[in-house]
Amino acid sequence: MPNKITRRQALLSGASAVGAALLSSRTFAQDAGMEPRPDYLIRAGTNENPYGPSRLALQAINGAMHLTNRYGGIDDQLRARLADLEQLSPDHIVVGTGSGEILRTAGMIASMDKGSVVCADPTYHDLVNYAERAGSKIIRVPVDDRLRIDLDAIASAIRRDTTCVYLVNPNNPIPSIIAKDALRDFVLEVSKKCMVFIDEAYYEYVEDPAYASMMELVRNGHKNVIVARTASKIHGLAGLRTGFGYAHPDHIRLIDEKKTSRQNILSTSAAYASYGDVEFQNFTRRKAKESMAIVEKMFEDLQLRYVRSHANFTFFETGIDVRELNARLREHGIHSGRPFPPFLKWSRISMAKPHEMRYYVQTYKELFG
């Protein structure tokens, strides 16, 4: 009898993900008031957009398909559109194969005279790992006791040979933000001595009035400030690899000269369309919030420590070794974020669709609650 099934049985029966067995487990699970296990791996480990690309981006990709015999994309049109959106001239923008290319190129430039690069710990790895391989000393500054980037400690860690300070805002894997006034003062002061690179990959998700992009400093002509953005996150184009650097034209020329790839017509066409699709961005933001509410309720229910998120992922203390946690979740069809030392008993979980997050919460409670 379907209504005799226990919660654990319903959950586990969902694990047999084929044919009639799946269908009947769905019925059982639904009858038991539970979220059925999807018949695919839930991707909640890499901060992607589960809804993207937007319809307009897909149409643009289709429309550009017959042009793939040609070299090059439509970089100039794309830069003109972004320049318009940010009230800059296009010579303030460089397009990369993902913002990762801009990060790595900046890391390489920062390391040309060796020296040091300062960043928070933990933070996103691309720029600093590349700089380290290119010969920089990396100075990692632990986040404060509320897990926020500690600007004072970062300022104190800057040495005479520091060539670049890398800040991720909102940070990753800890989705905290830096208060705008403190950040602006910091950037204005530190950029007198070295490059300040602000990675704003999740900028579009932030709704807190305490946050501000540092694009205004680029707009106002400040040198030694680079802002990075990406089409991989809210725009849902991670697989097509398009990202951007915004800076004074002198820095843009240098990055453009040193970076090694060029865009292709499909990625630039998709990004061009997507940056004109405000509705899709609003939709994605709304759905990410809906998913976040489901997961944050679990944190409250289970009294788990977490960091209030300003992005499409969250970070919480599980008390369980993250490798073990991930292996267990994987058995139940969920891909969760990789380990982020030294936070080895914390987990980063990206927002998939609401029904997928309901299944995640149900699974987490069953396994670890």
Ligand X SMILES: Cc1ncc(COP(=O)(O)O)c(C=O)c1O
* Three-state DSSP state, 143: coil
Q: Is 345 exposed, middle or buried (0-12, 13-18, 19+ CB in 10 A)?
A: middle
Tell me how far, at minimum, the Cβ of 247 lies from ligand X, in Å.
16
* Three-state DSSP state, 350: strand
Q: Are strands 137-142 and 346-350 parallel, antiparallel or unpaired?
A: unpaired
Which of these, 110, 108, 109, 78, lies nearest to 94 by C-alpha position? 78
Nearer to ligand X, 98 or 107 (CB): 98
Contact 246, 88 (CB under 8 A): yes
* Amino acid identity, position 37: R
| Contacting positions for ligand X (CB under 6 A) | 47, 98-100, 124, 168, 172, 199, 201, 230, 232, 238, 243
| Non-local CB neighbours of 5 within 8 Å, separated by 6+ positions | 13, 28, 31, 32
In degrees, rounded to 5, the angle at the alpha carbon of residue 125 between the alpha carbons of residues 122 and 126 is 160
Q: Max CA-CA distance within the chain? A: 73
Tell me how far, at minimum, the Cβ of 181 lies from ligand X, in Å.
22
In the chain the first and final C-alpha atoms are separated, in Å, by: 27
Nearer to ligand X, 90 or 170 (CB): 170
* Three-state DSSP state, 146: coil
Inter-axis angle of helices 126-133 and 99-110, to 10 degrees?
A: 40
Place of tokens 């710990």: 121
Phi (first) and psi of residue 291, to 5 degrees: -65, -40
> Residue with the closest Cβ to ligand X?
98
Tell me how far, at minimum, the Cβ of 179 lies from ligand X, in Å.
19
| Non-local CB neighbours of 145 within 8 Å, separated by 6+ positions | none
Tell me how far, at minimum, the Cβ of 356 lies from ligand X, in Å.
19
Tell me how far, at minimum, the Cβ of 16 lies from ligand X, in Å.
33
Tell me how far, at minimum, the Cβ of 235 lies from ligand X, in Å.
10
Nearer to ligand X, 32 or 231 (CB): 231
Nearer to ligand X, 134 or 302 (CB): 134
What is the rounded CA–CA span in Å between residue 232 and residue 19? 34
Nearer to ligand X, 126 or 150 (CB): 126
Q: Any idea what DSSP says for residue 64? A: H
Nearer to ligand X, 32 or 266 (CB): 266
What is the rounded CA–CA span in Å between residue 73 and residue 67? 9
Tell me how far, at minimum, the Cβ of 92 lies from ligand X, in Å.
18
Structure tokens at 365: 């409670």
Nearer to ligand X, 35 or 48 (CB): 48
Nearer to ligand X, 266 or 361 (CB): 266
Nearer to ligand X, 92 or 348 (CB): 348
Tell me how far, at minimum, the Cβ of 105 lies from ligand X, in Å.
12
Tell me how far, at minimum, the Cβ of 301 lies from ligand X, in Å.
28
